[in-house]
């Protein structure tokens, strides 16, 4: 009986790899695994799958949203309707919602930041944390600016002397592009009229960020394929 020699190849190679017959001198039939084709048919589709199943997260388009740089910029002070006592907007570490810093002022003074025009339809949240240490029902004026030169201004109110979260997403104008956000410090009533601002959020769109588990799976697969390609295939004779 004629002896036939062949390589035993793992099942997934038979499915995904490229094989061809190589007729040797002894007349036997030998199947060879094409490693380059395996890379293209296994690893590349796996990488594409991991990218498409990555975690999509909205991006905060506000720069220095929590004032953690220790300076005000790119925020800037704009309109000023304050009467005594007054204190310009500045960065402080005395009181903050998170991190090491927040911004504070005394009186009815505006702090503002402009950014690239962003369609309102892509914005998922406009929000911030604010605090009035004097407590009580304290009004605060917020302004949203759009690329057509218009703006939407409205008032919100805090009711305690603690940090309070304010979500103002509902005030976006349908069909417009947001280009700026501002807020005025409190003015009126009694006390110091101090305002604190921290952690401003204007979330828009999404960026594809691979999850750590997906990256680990991809790296493990790559190393596994490299190790397999260097291992000599077992041989069996019949």
- In this structure, what CATH number is given to the domain that contains residue 85? 2.60.120.260
Residues 78, 115: one domain?
yes
Residues 35, 99: one domain?
no
Residue 114 belongs to what domain range? 59-204
Query: Rounded to two decimals, what is the model's pTM?
Result: 0.66
Round to whole Å and give the CA distance between 169 and 15: 52
The yes-or-no verdict on residue 25 having pLDDT over 60 is: no
Determine the pLDDT at residue 65. 98
Residues 29, 18: one domain?
yes
Q: pLDDT category, 8, cuts 50, 70, 90?
A: very low
131-140, 150-159, 180-189, 216-225: segment of lowest average pLDDT? 216-225
Residues 46, 159: one domain?
no
Residues 146, 189: one domain?
yes
Residues 116, 227: one domain?
no
Residues 73, 169: one domain?
yes
Residue bearing tokens 């094409």: 34
The yes-or-no verdict on residue 236 having pLDDT over 90 is: no
Residues 80, 172: one domain?
yes
Residues 131, 193: one domain?
yes
**pLDDT, greater one: 138 or 56:** 138
Structurally, the chain folds into a number of domains equal to: 2
Q: Are 93 and 162 in contact (CB under 8 A)?
A: no
The yes-or-no verdict on residue 202 having pLDDT over 70 is: yes
């Amino acid at each position: 009986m004629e002896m036939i020699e062949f390589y035993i190849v793992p099942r997934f190679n038979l499915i995904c790899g490229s094989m061809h017959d190589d007729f040797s001198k002894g007349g036997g039939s030998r199947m060879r695994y094409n490693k380059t084709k395996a890379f293209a048919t296994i690893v590349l589709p796996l990488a594409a799958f991991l990218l498409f199943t990555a975690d999509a997260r909205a991006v905060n388009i506000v720069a220095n949203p929590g004032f953690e740089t220790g300076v005000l910029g790119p925020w800037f002070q704009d309109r000023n309707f304050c009467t005594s006592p007054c204190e310009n907007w500045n960065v402080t570490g005395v009181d903050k919602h998170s991190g090491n810093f927040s911004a504070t002022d005394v009186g009815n003074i505006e702090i503002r930041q402009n950014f690239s025009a962003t369609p309102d339809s892509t914005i998922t949240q406009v929000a911030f944390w604010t605090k009035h240490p004097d407590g009580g029902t304290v009004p605060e004026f917020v302004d949203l600016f759009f690329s057509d030169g218009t703006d939407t201004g409205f008032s919100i109110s805090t009711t305690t002397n603690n940090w309070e979260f304010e979500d103002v997403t509902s005030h976006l104008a349908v069909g417009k592009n947001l280009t700026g956000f501002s807020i005025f410090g409190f003015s009126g009533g009694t006390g110091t009229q101090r305002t604190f601002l921290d952690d401003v959020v204007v979330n828009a769109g999404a960026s594809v960020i691979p999850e750590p588990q997906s990256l680990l799976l991809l790296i493990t697969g790559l190393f596994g394929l490299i190790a397999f390609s260097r291992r000599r295939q077992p041989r069996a004779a019949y």
